[in-house]
Amino acid sequence: MKIRSWIFFLGLFLALLGPSMGWASEEKVEIVWWSWGKPEEVFGGLETAIEAAYPQIDLVIRGIKATEYNAVLTAALQGGRGPDLFTTRINPMPTQFAQAGFVEPLDTLVPILRYYNPPALEAVSFEGQPYAVPSACTLSAIFYNKQIFEEYDLSVPRTWAEFIEVCEALKGHGVTPFSMYSAEWAIASIFYPVIAATTLPESWRQRLLKNEASFTDPEFVNTLQLGLALKPYFLDGWEGLTYDDAVSLFINGEAAMIFDGCWMIPFYRKLNPELEFDAFLFPPVEEGIGPRIPWRVDGGFAFNAGLTGRKREAALLSLNFLASSVAGEILARDASIVTWAPGVTGTLADPVLQKLMAWRNERAVGTVVLRGGPLDWKTPTISSLLGKYAMQLLFGTITPDEAAQQIQHDISRQE
């Protein structure tokens, strides 16, 4: 009896002592990651991969409504209760956060960033140093319903003239050519960038950023005019439709085409698996000029500079993973998100996304001057102005010249 008691107490002692000597399994570190929208769905594959690669990390992803995200994240960080990892918008957010000490420079903490595209890094940098990992390269194009095109024996237009012929043919058959949205952010982020990618010459873009060109130049006015010229082919009642409404109507086959972005590809597949769709780029007005695809950085992954100890280590491990090509392949496969990590091939991604990625490599615009570019980093942003005046243009309250003049007038007062 005495020996049994001794054995029992010795075992109890060792069991209590064990964890402090590392014999028990290491406690997991919870890393909370905030992003806008429904990141639990979008980043689910990443969560699994990170937890598999680093079993000591328990990743918890939280989504916040996109329109409230900036305010909620800022308030949380300001109050010292921010998440461990978070998705940031592009500048001015990383700059503001860097100045406030919420984020740290990542050039030494995330070594792979030295192989990232420099313009992409600029969008999340402050004083030449990146404070976030550029997360998504948003690619936009014109998505079309292949079944409708095949039914009416239509082919992808290669020029503006063919484009109008396709629209007229669809209209003639009682099919609405475009599902369109009355949303300023979408007009500025998708509709006009897709048109401008092809119509704005690279030389004009570079001169604009050097203040040697103006939005009142014929190149830009012509771009506005081309968007307006498509208005007769918009869905009836488009003025009252949100972006989500327009997407739903396209998915349900109520229109043949939609100006949209690569992030919607998984939603098209999920909401209507029978929808056969593909994409094409805005065709040029003149033959011989190749169409181009617009791209922009849609945000960055950053970590909370206030973390210490194991949390900081875990957050940095997660961040380095997110910056890697492995994460890039997962995002391309699961969420049709194209990242900036070098070496991402997207071989497991949706075929339509693979097409957009190939265009990015061959036909991307060189300099972004609209949504996501340097003119979006100061107030008032070019996207807010483009959205506001382009919407007035599409509603018919101003002309393309007036819209261009207003944009130029307001952009010259950026601070």
Partner 1 sequence: MKTRRKSALLLLLPGFIFYSMFVVYPYVNSICYSFTDWMGVGPKKFIGFSNYMKLFTDPLLSKEFWRAFSHSTIIFGASTIFAVILGLALAFLLAAPRLKGRGFFRALYFLPYILPPVAYGFVWRYILNPRIGSLNEILKSIGLAAWAQPWLGSIELALPTVIGVWCMKQAGLYILFFEAGILSIPNILRDAALVDGCTRWQQIWYVELPLLKPTFITLVMFNFINSFGAFDLLFALTGIEGRPLGTTDVLATFFYRTAFGTTTHPFGWGLGMGAAVACVVALFLVSVSFVFIVIRQRSYVEY
Residues that bind partner 1 (CB under 8 A): 66-67, 70-71, 74-75, 77-78, 89, 92-93, 96-97, 99-100, 102, 182-185, 188-189, 235-242, 245, 249, 254, 371, 376, 379-381, 383-384, 387-388, 391-392, 395, 397, 410, 413
**Least Å from the CB of residue 372 to partner 1:** 10
**What is the helix (H) or strand (E) element at residue 129, kind and residue range?**
strand 129-130
Which helix (H) or strand (E) covers residue 376, if one does?
A: none
Angstrom distance (rounded) from CA 145 to CA 108:
46
Nearer to partner 1, 54 or 259 (CB): 259
Find the shortest distance in angstroms from Cβ 14 to partner 1: 51
Residues of 76-105 as b/e, b for ≥16 C-beta within 10 angstroms? bbeeeebbbbbbbbbbebbbbbbeeebbbb
**Range 385-393, long-range pairs (CB < 8 A, 24+ positions):** 385/410, 385/411, 386/187, 386/188, 386/192, 387/184, 387/185, 387/187, 387/188, 387/189, 388/184, 390/184, 390/187, 390/188, 390/191, 390/192, 390/224, 390/227, 391/182, 391/184, 391/187, 393/224, 393/227, 393/228
Rounded to whole angstroms, the Cα distance separating 335 from 44 reads 9
Residue whose CB is less far from partner 1, 143 or 181 = 181
Nearer CB in complex with partner 1: 248/320: 248
Minimum Å gap between C-beta 281 and partner 1 is 23
Q: Report in angstroms how near the CB of residue 368 gets to partner 1 at its nearest.
A: 14
Q: Which two tokens stand for residue 49?
A: 């991969």
- Toward partner 1, which CB reaches closer, 288 or 396? 396
What minimum distance in Å lies between the beta carbon of 94 and partner 1? Answer: 11
Which residue has tokens 């997660």?
A: 318
By the 10 Å C-beta count (0-12 exposed, 13-18 middle, 19+ buried), 313 is classed as: middle
Name the residue nearer to partner 1 (CB basis): 74 or 216. 74
Decide: helix, strand or coil at residue 33.
strand
Q: Which is nearer to partner 1, 313 or 410 (CB)?
A: 410
Q: How far is the CB of 220 from partner 1 (least distance, A)?
A: 18
Please identify, using beta-carbon distances, which residue of 46 and 183 lies nearer to partner 1.
183
**Residue 355 or 371 having the CB closest to partner 1:** 371
The rounded distance, in Å, linking the Cα atoms of 199 and 180 is 20
> What's the min distance (Å) between Cβ of 403 and partner 1?
12
Nearest approach, Cβ of residue 287 and partner 1 (Å): 34
Read off the tokens for 296.
């922009």
